Amino acid sequence: MSEPAATHVRFQGVCKSYDGTTQIVQNLDLAVLEGEFLTLLGPSGSGKTTCLMLLAGFEQPGGGHIEISGRAVDDLPPRERNIGIVFQNYALFPNMTVGGNLAFPLEVRGLASDEAAERVRRALQLVRLEGFEDRRPAELSGGQQQRVAIARALVFEPRLVLMDEPLGALDRRLREEMQYEIRRIQRELAVTVVYVTHDQTEAMAMSDRVAVFNRGRIEQIAPPEALYEEPEREFVAGFIGENNLLRGRVSAITGDLCTVDFRGLAVQAFAVAGRSVGEEVILAIRPERVALTPKPGEYTNEFDAKVEDLVFLGDHLRVRLNLGGYESFVAKIPNIVGHGAVLKGDSVRIGWTPTDCRALPADDADAGMAA
């Protein structure tokens, strides 16, 4: 694990359109490392499944190339790509037993039946379903079916496994358990996994890296923490966790920091690479990084605000503030001893550090729209 991992999968300028007019995947570049757990995260219809299907070979790219282990696979039919796939609805064969499902990929590869039986047994052991060989898929719970689907995708020992929202149909508790299981199995076998979900908690919990998809493009690809702490695009800031997104204009840049004019307030912010003076930017501030009634001088950014609304949520207080006429500024105040009691209508002072406030390029900046 110490030496830099080789690239397992590479998308180079891949385009895909089903009808010839709407581009579902646009000029996509993506590299997945050997043994990596990469998650494609994005809203419904953003092209995640399409990417998997392109990689699996069920769809042909309209442009660009896909490489697996350095080899272009454009002409390789799906059955020769040797990729394990876990489908969203499991796609277990109802006419076969669990054992039959697992033995299927081995049989079509012409494996001797005793060796196949042994491998099936081991695969079931891996997903902790020993002794379920003779059950029918219909006789299994959702979680068990999920395990069988995973075992089937692994039993022929592929190096690359694709999973399309495998946990979508499970309830919350089971989902968390399976997240852990999938991660354990992936580490144990050191296989490369490309995983699709639109649940960001799931993506955060499982992935080495997360690629955030939006309208057929990757907005940002980064490890989970970096994605949360250092979003580089407005979409990512809005999609991952909660952010106050304020539209302003850069008035000065000093090193990593810049000053942004937001409704007459001068906000100090961290300038994401490539900002220029006069540019319209989006300020992203996490609600939990906003302090209420700080000691004077504690933060560079300190402003007067008015409490519009507040909701008590047990472990924290959710406060909606009016900041310079913007009425939807949200702060989350942890419910710890001594937090300042505020009431609706109060005038308060709020503050945050410049590094908790990122100046991002506005998504519509290219279109030249003004605020």
Binding residues (CB under 5 A) for Mg ion: these are 49
240 vs 250, beta carbon nearer ligand ATP: 240
Contact in structure between 66 and 15 (CB atoms under 8 Å): no
Largest alpha-carbon pair distance within the chain? 77
CB of 348 to ligand ATP, least distance (A): 40
Token pair listed for 307: 């409490």
- Position 94 contacts another protein (CB under 8 A): yes
Token pair listed for 205: 């919990």
42 vs 84, beta carbon nearer ligand ATP: 42
DSSP SS3 for 53: helix
**Residue 21 binds: one of Mg ion, another protein, ligand ATP, none (C-beta under 5 to 8 A by kind):** none
CB of 166 to ligand ATP, least distance (A): 12
Distance CA 71, CA 175 (A): 35
Q: Count H helices, E strands: the chain?
A: 8, 20
The CA distances from residue 120 to 156, 217, 284, 308, in Å, are 9, 39, 50, 61
47 vs 57, beta carbon nearer ligand ATP: 47
**Residue 131 binds: one of Mg ion, another protein, ligand ATP, none (C-beta under 5 to 8 A by kind):** none
- Position 196 contacts another protein (CB under 8 A): no
168 vs 223, beta carbon nearer Mg ion: 168
Q: What is the separation, in whole angstroms, between the first and last Cα of the chain?
A: 48
- Position 115 contacts another protein (CB under 8 A): no
CB of 40 to ligand ATP, least distance (A): 8
Distance CA 124, CA 133 (A): 8
Q: How many CB atoms lie within 10 A of CB 115?
A: 10
Nearest CA-CA partner of 101 in 148, 139, 59: 148
- Position 139 contacts another protein (CB under 8 A): no
CA angle 20, 24, 26 (to 5 degrees): 100
- Position 88 contacts another protein (CB under 8 A): yes
DSSP SS3 for 356: helix
Distance CA 233, CA 220 (A): 7
Contact in structure between 50 and 206 (CB atoms under 8 Å): no
- Position 87 contacts another protein (CB under 8 A): yes
Where does this chain touch another protein (CB under 8 A) — which range of 100-108, 175-183, 206-214, 347-355?
Answer: 100-108
CB of 341 to ligand ATP, least distance (A): 43
Q: How many CB atoms lie within 10 A of CB 314?
A: 6
15 vs 91, beta carbon nearer another protein: 91
Nearest residue to the partner ligand ATP, using Cβ: 49
Residues 60-79 interacting with another protein (rule: CB under 8 A): 77-79
- Position 44 contacts another protein (CB under 8 A): no
CB of 210 to another protein, least distance (A): 24
Q: How many CB atoms lie within 10 A of CB 184?
A: 12
H/E stretch holding 13 reads: strand 7-16
In one-letter notation, the amino acid at residue 35 is G
Contact in structure between 186 and 33 (CB atoms under 8 Å): no
- Position 254 contacts another protein (CB under 8 A): no
Q: How many CB atoms lie within 10 A of CB 159?
A: 16
- Position 109 contacts another protein (CB under 8 A): yes
Query: Of residues 2, 21, 44, 95, which one binds another protein by CB under 8 A?
Result: 95
Chain residues binding ligand ATP by CB under 6 A are 18, 24, 42, 44-50, 198
- Position 187 contacts another protein (CB under 8 A): no
198 vs 320, beta carbon nearer ligand ATP: 198
**Residue 44 binds: one of Mg ion, another protein, ligand ATP, none (C-beta under 5 to 8 A by kind):** ligand ATP
CB of 87 to another protein, least distance (A): 5
Residues 204-243 interacting with another protein (rule: CB under 8 A): none
CB of 164 to Mg ion, least distance (A): 6
Contact in structure between 164 and 86 (CB atoms under 8 Å): yes
User: What residue ranges bind another protein (CB under 8 A)?
Assistant: 56, 58, 77-85, 87-89, 91, 93-96, 104-105, 108-109, 152, 156
